[in-house]
Amino acid sequence: MLTEVVEEYLEAIYKMSLNGPVIAARLAEWMKVSPPTVADMLKRLSDKGLVKTSRRDGVKLTKKGLETAETMVRRHRLWERFLTDILGLNWDEVHEEACKLEHAISSPQVEEKLADILGHPETCPHGHPIPGTRGARKREKEAKPLSQCSVGDEAIIERVADEDSQLLQYLASLGLLPEARVAVKEIAPFKGPMLVNVCGAQYALGQEVAAKIMVKGK
């Protein structure tokens, strides 16, 4: 049995690895702990055969570590679906609750029953692919940030990369939700705001916000 802290580290490494090499210093920022604390944990994870570390490749999950990480991410996203689809919570209210509930499942049978009740969804409410569903790993890497689009581009929102509740509330108020169509109308010079059209209305989005909205081709 792994501790909750170990499971959370594996989840963090899994999510960070989707965007490139995982560096210990960045992992410390993600986990909001000191670099020495991360160094100690990485040694423990390495001793358990869950990660490998090197100067060239950074921190990488082993096969065993990847399986554990995907299991935890899958349970987290299934719980988010349960909280929104069954209990009726808003998408900005479910992340913290799911963080607690994901550790409560102690067997694959319970996890599978939860998926059965939900109808085996492929994404969480924020649009992230649920590990174990068809093409999940591929979909994680296919989308690009809205901030990388050009004037005239049209796209479909795939997911929101940040689960901050205030950001999610803001995006929901604008209709910037997964599967919504968005068109880039203008981009201010010097990395200024983007003017986008969604649901028949136009909004100015700062580059920081646009970078957290992942889109795919129309």
Q: Distance between CA 181 and CA 191 in Å, rounded?
A: 23
Distance in angstroms (rounded) separating the CA atoms of residues 5 and 8: 5
pLDDT at res. 64: 97
- Identify the band that residue 135 occupies on the pLDDT scale cut at 50, 70 and 90: confident
What value does the mean pLDDT take over residues 61-89? 96
d(CA 10, CA 20): 15
pLDDT at 138: 78
pLDDT of the residue at 95: 94
Is the pTM above the cut of 0.85?
Answer: yes
Q: How deeply is 20 buried, as exposed, middle or buried, from its count of CB atoms within 10 A (0-12, 13-18, 19+)?
A: exposed
> Cα–Cα distance between 22 and 173 in angstroms, integer?
34
Reply yes or no on whether the pLDDT at 38 is more than 90: yes
Q: Which helix (H) or strand (E) holds 181?
A: strand 181-187
- Strand 154-160 versus strand 213-217 pairing type: antiparallel
Is 176 a residue whose pLDDT tops 80?
Answer: yes
* pLDDT confidence of residue 137: 77
Q: Is the predicted pLDDT of residue 54 greater than 80, yes or no?
A: yes
**Residues recorded for the chain:** 218
Per-residue pLDDT at 214 exceeds 90: yes
Q: Rounded to the nearest 5°, which phi and psi values hold at 209?
A: -70, -45
Angle, helices 63-81 vs 4-17, to 10°: value is 90
What pLDDT does 70 receive?
A: 95
- pLDDT tens across 22-35, in order? 999 999 999 999 99
- Alpha-carbon distance of 57 to 77, in angstroms, equals 28
**Mean predicted lDDT score pLDDT of the chain:** 94
